[in-house]
Amino acid sequence: MRRMKNLIGLVGLSMVVACGGAQTQSAEHGSAGGSEHASGSEHASGHAHPGHGGQGMHHDFSDVERFAAMFDDPERDEWQRPDEVVALLQLTPGAIVADLGAGTGYFESYLSSAVGDAGRVLALDVEPAMVAHMQTRFQDARLSNIEAGVVAGDDPGLEPDSVDRILIVDTWHHLDDRGAYAAKLAQALRPGGFVLVVDFTQESPHGPPVARRLLATAVAQELQAGGLAARVIEDESLPYQYVVRADKTAAP
């Protein structure tokens, strides 16, 4: 936990998890017809909206049970291709990787295996109910090299030069002031480290409303604005998402 600074607070395992609430807002990972992975459904729900004065699409992710059914739907694996995403991170045993906007922890078992017992996975999210859910999940699965923590919406809460990789899946479009956020990511990376942003294409049948999606080139520009050397990865096979890699550059 030394490597995470300014965490709003690690949610104790005994915390009451806000699962099973009666909220009906849309989500991002469902199939067409009623979730954020259903194109445009957030606009109809009235629960998703552009950032208040910021760039990001703000969304209520506190109904963990509802989102877990979407994010951890086994059918997601076919298009999400978590093995391929994690392979693109080029993790080695002992590495430290942060998953920002980790949600229900969909990627964490893959990341945990990739870094091994000597490595660490920091599963970070702005939503306390998600973090509480992840803590229970990782404890039940005996994944001891993962730490889940709550972070502020405008700060990944990572110490300078503290992590080798940062994974951000389907979350970049939720952030405000992304250039400034990218600068914080750059500071958190160790030399040789990089960020991987995975988000939905304009054509994807899943994802937020098309108007809220970001082009890969725009994401690369935002990461560049933070001082990272960003490029769109071309040789990947994800059907509905693009991947942008942003490397820490050598200090001037």
Ligand X SMILES: C[S@@+](CC[C@H](N)C(=O)[O-])C[C@H]1O[C@@H](n2cnc3c(N)ncnc32)[C@H](O)[C@@H]1O
Regarding 153 and contact with ligand X (CB under 6 A), the answer is yes
Looking at 48, 86, 151, 220, which residue binds ligand X (CB under 6 A)?
151
Segment 110 to 149, residues that bind ligand X, using CB under 6 A: 125-127, 130
Closest C-alpha to 168, from 203, 200, 139, 141? 200
* SS3 of residue 98 by DSSP: strand
Residue 178 binds ligand X, judged by CB under 6 A? no
103 binds ligand X (CB under 6 A): yes
Question: Which residue in the set 64, 89, 95, 169 belongs to the binding site for ligand X (CB under 6 A)?
Answer: 169
Question: Does 157 engage in binding with ligand X (CB under 6 A)?
Answer: no
Radius of gyration of the chain (CA): 17
Going from the C-alpha of 235 to that of each of 44, 84, 203, the distances in angstroms are 35, 11, 18
172 near ligand X, rule: CB under 6 A: no
> In terms of CB distance, is 7 or 95 closer to ligand X?
7
Assign residue 147 a region (left: φ > 0; alpha: ψ between -120 and 50; beta: otherwise).
Answer: beta
CB of 76 to ligand X, least distance (A): 8
108 belongs to the binding site for ligand X (CB under 6 A): no
Task: Assess 171 for contact with ligand X (CB under 6 A).
Answer: yes
The beta strand positions in the chain, using DSSP E, are 49-50, 57-58, 96-100, 120-125, 146-150, 163-169, 189-200, 228-232, 241-248
- Applying CB under 6 A, among 7, 26, 28, 245 the residue interacting with ligand X is 28
Whether 84 contacts 235, CB under 8 Å: no
Find, among 123, 106, 40, the residue nearest to 69 by Cα. 106
Q: Give residue number: closest CB to ligand X.
A: 103
Nearer to ligand X, 155 or 247 (CB): 155
Residues 39-98 close enough to bind ligand X by CB under 6 A: 61, 71
| Chain contacts with ligand X (rule: CB under 6 A) | 28, 61, 71, 100-103, 106, 125-127, 130, 151, 153, 169-171, 174-175
